[in-house]
């Protein structure tokens, strides 16, 4: 059983190790922190922490570093999640407030979060299977080439260029735009493809092949928008902190490239009392990320679905500051989409 002072010792070991990257010894703790006890007493506290597998000695060093279990206890009981400074909050609003559509918002989000935390930043596209079609637009680019634009209620925009087997007529394109919008606007994406079945029969026989080509492309766009996707930035931060990993960093880089893995991990993480989900070390082993920690928080989209935004990095990270940044960005995204 760890005493209250022992928990305080664990707290300073985590803070000092994150700041210095060096194992923390009892002498250093006594010199830097006002515990009011001798180094021998602190060594006893550290021995109790080591017995509980909360800290460990790397190699032959006299200092100690937190273990996965130690970081977990720190996050669950000891982390003090401080609000961001007013300057940081203003930076979030100024940078993300310049965004024009969903893709731009999410791209800016990961860039900003990566800069704030110095970790890999991840943001999940909102699941829009329950979202509705806002508008469909067609633009003639060449006699037999057209741009098809699908705009969802969430602000997601899916564009495709298609080549047709016959020359495009402006009147035909305008009629397709009118008919397709009448059939799909305000329908959930999950139902929109079905509403387009047989629509070519509304057109002259000579135009039906072209209409079918356009409809097939639009159905592909709808299907693409119903898939979960991630945006990521800051992978270079992992490389810069390569010394935090005991083995090669390349398996970690390969794992984070697999969006399915990260989406599944996001889906299994439960939020804590701070509104942030934290998965540490061995808790991520089944995902090939046993030497990383993942912090995530949910944000609400206009369609009412919830997606995740978060960071991934080594076990030695500033959990308190990173949790505050993730939570603040998630709250801003919810507010931003709620107003759109």
pLDDT for 141 equals: 95
**Across the chain, what does the average pLDDT equal?**
88
- Report the CATH fold assignment for 133-225: Enolase-like; domain 1 (3.30.390)
Q: Where are the domains of the chain?
A: 4-78, 86-127+228-339, 133-225
Euclidean distance between CA atoms 6 and 3, whole angstroms: 5
pLDDT for 79 equals: 81
The more confident residue out of 331 and 62 is 331
Sequence-distant (≥ 6) Cβ neighbours of residue 339 within 8 angstroms: none
Euclidean distance between CA atoms 295 and 328, whole angstroms: 13
- Report the CATH fold assignment for 4-78: Arc Repressor Mutant, subunit A (1.10.10)
Q: What CA–CA distances, in Å, run from 133 to 178, 230, 299?
A: 14, 21, 21
Sequence-distant (≥ 6) Cβ neighbours of residue 98 within 8 angstroms: 108
Euclidean distance between CA atoms 109 and 331, whole angstroms: 12
pLDDT for 227 equals: 54
- Report the CATH fold assignment for 86-127+228-339: Beta-Lactamase (3.30.450)
- The H or E element containing residue 230 is strand 230-233
- Phi, psi values for residue 146, rounded to 5°: -140, 150
- Over residues 44-80, the pLDDT tens digits come to 999 999 999 999 998 766 789 999 999 999 998 888 7
Model confidence band, residue 303 (pLDDT cutoffs 50, 70, 90):
low
- Over residues 245-264, the pLDDT tens digits come to 887 888 888 888 888 888 88
- Reported in sequence order, the residue ranges of 217-291 that DSSP labels E, i.e. its strands, are 230-233, 277-280
3-class DSSP state of 154: coil
Taking Cα atoms as reference points, which of 83, 70, 96 lies closest to residue 9? Answer: 70
The answer to whether residue 320 scores a pLDDT higher than 60 is: yes
The tokens for 334 are: 């919810």
The tokens for 69 are: 């279990």
3-class DSSP state of 162: strand
Query: Residue 131 half-sphere exposure, CB side, CA atoms within 13 Å?
Result: 28
Question: For 168-175, what is the mean pLDDT?
Answer: 95
pLDDT for 274 equals: 66
- Given a contact cutoff of 8 angstroms between Cβ atoms, the answer to whether 215 and 196 are in contact is yes
- Given a contact cutoff of 8 angstroms between Cβ atoms, the answer to whether 39 and 75 are in contact is no
Euclidean distance between CA atoms 21 and 46, whole angstroms: 18
pLDDT for 127 equals: 67
- The H or E element containing residue 159 is strand 157-163
The answer to whether residue 304 scores a pLDDT higher than 70 is: no
The tokens for 100 are: 């024009």
Taking Cα atoms as reference points, which of 77, 70, 63 lies closest to residue 32? Answer: 63
């Amino acid at each position: 059983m760890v005493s209250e002072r022992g928990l305080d010792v664990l707290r300073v070991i985590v803070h000092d190790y994150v700041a210095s990257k060096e194992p923390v010894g009892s002498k250093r703790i006594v010199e830097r922190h006002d515990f009011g006890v001798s180094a021998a007493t602190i060594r006893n506290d550290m021995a109790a922490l080591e017995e509980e597998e909360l800290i460990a000695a790397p190699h032959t060093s006299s200092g100690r570093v937190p273990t996965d279990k130690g970081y977990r206890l720190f996050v669950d009981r000891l982390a003090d999640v401080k609000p961001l400074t007013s300057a940081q909050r203003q930076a979030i609003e100024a940078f993300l407030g310049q965004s024009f559509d969903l893709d731009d918002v999410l791209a800016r989000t990961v860039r900003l979060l990566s800069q704030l935390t110095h970790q890999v930043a991840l943001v999940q596209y909102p699941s829009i299977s329950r979202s509705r079609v806002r508008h469909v637009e067609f633009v003639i680019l060449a006699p037999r080439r057209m741009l098809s634009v699908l705009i969802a209620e969430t602000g997601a925009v899916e564009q495709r260029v298609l080549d047709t087997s016959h020359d495009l007529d402006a009147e035909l394109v305008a009629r397709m735009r009118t008919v397709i919008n009448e059939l799909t606007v305000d329908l959930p994406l999950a139902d929109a493809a079905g509403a387009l079945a047989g629509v070519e029969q509304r057109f002259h026989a000579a135009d039906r092949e072209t209409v079918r080509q356009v409809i097939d492309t639009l159905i592909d766009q709808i299907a693409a928008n119903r898939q979960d996707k991630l945006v990521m930035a800051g992978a270079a931060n992992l490389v810069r902190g390569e010394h935090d990993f005991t083995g090669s960093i390349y398996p970690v880089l390969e794992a984070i490239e697999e969006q399915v893995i990260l989406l599944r991990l996001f889906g299994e993480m439960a939020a804590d009392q701070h509104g942030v989900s934290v998965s540490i070390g061995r808790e991520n082993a089944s995902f090939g990320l046993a030497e990383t920690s993942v912090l995530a928080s949910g944000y609400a989209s206009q369609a009412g679905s919830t997606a995740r935004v978060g960071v991934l990095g080594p076990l030695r990270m500033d959990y308190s500051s990173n949790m505050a940044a993730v939570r603040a960005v998630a709250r801003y995204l919810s507010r931003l989409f709620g107003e759109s």
